Structure formats: C-alpha cells, structure tokens
Amino acid sequence: MLKGRLGLDSAKVPHADRAGCLYLARGALTARDGTLAFLQGPQTEADALSEGDYAIPLQGVSIILLGPGSTVSHDALRLLAHARTALAAVGEDGVRLYTAPPMIPDRSGLARLQARIWADDDLRLMTARRMYAMRLGEVLPHADLDVLGGIEGARMKETYALQAQRIGISWRGRRYDRANPMASDLPNQALNHAASAVEAAAAIAVCATATIPQLGFIHEDPGQSFVLDVADLYRDSVTVPCAFKAARQVSERPSENIERVTRRMTGTALRRDGIIPDMIERIKALIEGRGA
C-alpha cells in the first residue's frame, strides 16, 4: 500500500530512467488514487489521445507540457511537486512557454557542469565551437567567435536564398524593425514568428534539463542566452523552412493570419520531428562533452 492521501511518500524514479516529455491538451489534469488522471476532451488533429479518462504515469516522465484548453487541480500540483515532475503551461505543440515552476532534479550535475564550462574561457570557447560545428556541419579551425559568427552569418544568407528559391517565394534579405515589426514583408514576419516558436521549444528543453538559461556560450547578454543558443541549432532545419512555407501559404491566401499559420506550421514540425526531446538530448551531449 502507498502511504498518504496522495501516496508516493518515498518512491522517486531518477530522471535518467524517465521517458522525458508528455504533452496533454484540452482536458483536466487531476489527482486520483495516488497518481495523476487526465480527462481528455474531444480530440483534435494535434492530440495524441482520443477522448476518454487516462491514468498518467506520474513518475514515468520528467515534465508534463500542459497545452491549451486544459486545467490542473491543486492536488495534482502537490503530487507533481512531490514526485519532482515538472509542469509547464505551453502553447499548441510547445510553440509558446507561458510558465513553468523550477524543476527539482535528482542531481544538479548538468547545471554545475554548465556553470564550470561557462566560467572557464577555454572550455567556453570549445563549447561554442562545438555549437557552431552542429550548425555548420563541420568543425572549423578558427578559434575566434567573431570569425565563426561571420562564417555562420554568410552561410545563413545562402540558406535563406536557397530555401526561398526551393519553396518558391520572393526573398530580398533579412530585415526586421523592432519598432514596427509588421512593416516587414511576409517572409521576414514569418521568420520572427517561427523563431519565437522554436525559442519556446528550447526554453522547455532548458527547463526540462534544469540547465541555466542565462549562461549561454554564443549569446551572452540576454537573460535567455542558453535558450537562444539551443534554438539556433534548429534554424536551418525548422525555423527557416517553416517560416518560408508559411509565407508562401499566406501570400496565396491573403485572408489568413501570418502569425497563426507560422506557429501552427512550426508546431506541427516540432511535434512530428520530436524536436523538444532532441533538444534535451543535445543539451545533455553538449554539456557532458559527448558527441552530438
């Protein structure tokens, strides 16, 4: 028998033995018989679960992503906290991160390693070069981050042009006015929305690994520097293709909203390609020094 009204007084499964993320939407997350239950409402195309009542493996996941149309009970929150399972309120398919309580992992290993690497100039440079290698597809001999950034910037210009040509949209270069973002053309607006969606997914991955968002290796000043580092790893494979496909769709159907179309298209790619779990594994590989 499990002790306590909500049970699980002592049993805690290490996060290394858990499955990772679980996305739930359009339902009620409650506590029942010492574990979690989710009452799924009418299913949509984005939902993995059909309508019904489900028992949720509380200690089988590290973080539950609670999507639109959902509620969570006070007892469920207590149970999640006791099992050290994180909960994040997210947009459809993780294209927004609204809030997430601090995760309390079994160990602080990743965060401590990250801080050690970040504080050591040589290790920090080595890690930044590894991130550039992930983005560029090759390890470059340059040790200067400004040089690597320049090379990456030049290749991104080529990527924009090639992707635009392949997808069939007009591209006149990356332009963004922070004071008036709606003044940009459709491809540039779509790039902003797709980048925000991928950054939200990266924020979820950073939260799930309990790493430190402020300690980036390429980005330095923003409070979400490490989140931006991780998001940039997917610029070529997710952000740009989704943005340009959305721009083409809206150019052909002017009545549609570019932000909505872009976020939905990016969310579909995040779900279909398992991007958030992949981000989690890349973060672990990067900080622990394993191949990625």
Which residue has better confidence, 12 or 39?
Answer: 39
Cα separation, 169 vs 190, whole angstroms = 12
* Under 8 Å between Cβ of 101 and 72: no
For residue 51, say whether it is annotated as part of any ligand binding site.
no
Per-residue pLDDT, 11: 55
2 HSE (CA, 13 A, CB side) = 13
Lowest mean pLDDT among 47-51, 174-178, 200-204, 237-241: 174-178
Q: Taking the CB of residue 163, how many other CB atoms lie within 10 A of it?
A: 18
Give bridge partners of residue 66 from the DSSP assignment: 24, 89
Lowest mean pLDDT among 22-26, 118-122, 142-146, 280-284: 142-146
For residue 47, say whether it is annotated as part of any ligand binding site.
no
How are beta strands 86-90 and 97-99 bridged, if at all?
A: antiparallel
For residue 152, say whether it is annotated as part of any ligand binding site.
yes
Cα separation, 277 vs 283, whole angstroms = 10
Q: 160-215: per-residue pLDDT in tens?
A: 999 999 999 999 988 877 777 677 899 999 999 999 999 999 999 998 888 999 99
Task: Domains for the chain: give ranges and CATH numbers.
Answer: 8-89 (3.100.10.20), 108-288 (1.20.120.920)
Which residue has better confidence, 142 or 4?
Answer: 142
Lowest mean pLDDT among 6-20, 27-41, 225-239: 6-20
How sure is the predictor about 8, in pLDDT bands with cuts at 50, 70 and 90?
very low
Residue 69, CA distances (Å) to 24, 43, 44, 63, 265 in order: 10, 11, 11, 18, 20
Q: What mean pLDDT, rounded, does the chain reach?
A: 87
